[in-house]
Amino acid sequence: MTIARISVVVLLVLACLVWLVLVALAATLNSSDPAGNAMSYSFAMLMTVALWVVLAVLLLVSGFDGAMPRRVGLSALVLVPLSGAAAMAAVNLLEGRADLTAKWPIILLVLVPFLLMFYAGWSFFPAWRSVVPPNAANIAVWSVVLFLSLLPWPALRSRATRDANAQANTGLQEQREKELARAENVVAFQRLTPESPLQDWLAFVTNGNELRDSAFAGIRRLARRQADAETLISQGDDLPMMELRNLDLEITPRFCGIAVEFLRKDADSFRPTTAAARYDVVSYRIERHLLTMRWLAANECDCAAAVSAYETTARLYEDSPERARFLAALAKVRGGT
């Protein structure tokens, strides 16, 4: 047996194996969960590329040592890459389509590789040529390959258009919902009065609310803001403490005591339950009131008890650059800088 014959046989066997794997993947492409389907789709694309590489090499070897006419060889130079691209388009069309009527692109993945493998064998092995006449093989195989290679593109274009329209409609719907939410936000804000509790005003100061500045302006005119802030903070409400420097409050000894007690309890709430706890996991949350402590200290509020509580909690975590920076920042608060 010649090297060329061995090569053709090996390539035919390899192409058959990859072809069977690809067909199996295509048939079950949407039968798993989203993550599994995505993996199957990627693997199907990989198998498609691998199969067409093998088919191209197979046709090249059989064409050199077989009976492939020159004009057919030139046609194959165009049709093999075209059919490969069409196969990838077919896999794309199969993605996300679980109903049977949408699985027609699998026909391309079944027939085109079979026809290319058959033609490579027909071209190389004389026994195959004695069964199928040359004209029948050349015309039938490459005509069907051309037809199937053109088949998925209109459907792919139509799907792309539908997806684009759906995306545009989704964008319009999201825009309408944003405009509706914005209108509702404005209406709710307009219902507020100088007698509205601080808690109602604070609903409009969260990040991203376009009425944040207007809400702060209204809060600073509230006669009840001091009493409401003390009540909310003593109840453990986090938002007034986060926005303390924007509320125009009087830092009295009573208020200072309430604020420091809140901070002390907050620090205690972050004590780790394991000896090897990582500080960077909680750093954002445990440090969120650092600016507030600085502001309180700058306004002659003694935050030593709060600073000590945060230092004690921070030292229960494993040493890290983040922890060291936080401890250094607390030391500056203690020192009044």
Q: How many CA atoms lie within 13 A of 211 on its CB side?
A: 19
DSSP letters spanning 178-213? HHHHHHHHHHHHHT--TTS-HHHHHTT-STT-TTHH
Least confident of 86-90, 125-129, 238-242: 125-129
Least confident of 75-84, 92-101, 142-151, 220-229: 92-101
What is the helix, strand, coil percentage profile of the chain, to 5? Answer: 75, 0, 25
Tell me the pLDDT tens digit for each residue of 121-147.
Answer: 888 888 777 777 777 788 888 999 999
Residue of 291, 239, 236 lying closest to 264 (CA atoms): 236
The angle, 0 to 180 degrees and rounded to 10, between the axes of the packed helices 134-150 and 106-124 is 150
| Rg (alpha carbons) of the chain, rounded to whole number | 36
Mean pLDDT for 255-273 is 95
Mean pLDDT estimate for the chain: 90
Sign of the dihedral defined by the CA atoms of residues 70, 74, 77, 80, in that order: negative
For the entire predicted model, the pTM comes to 0.56
Q: How many CA atoms lie within 13 A of 308 on its CB side?
A: 6
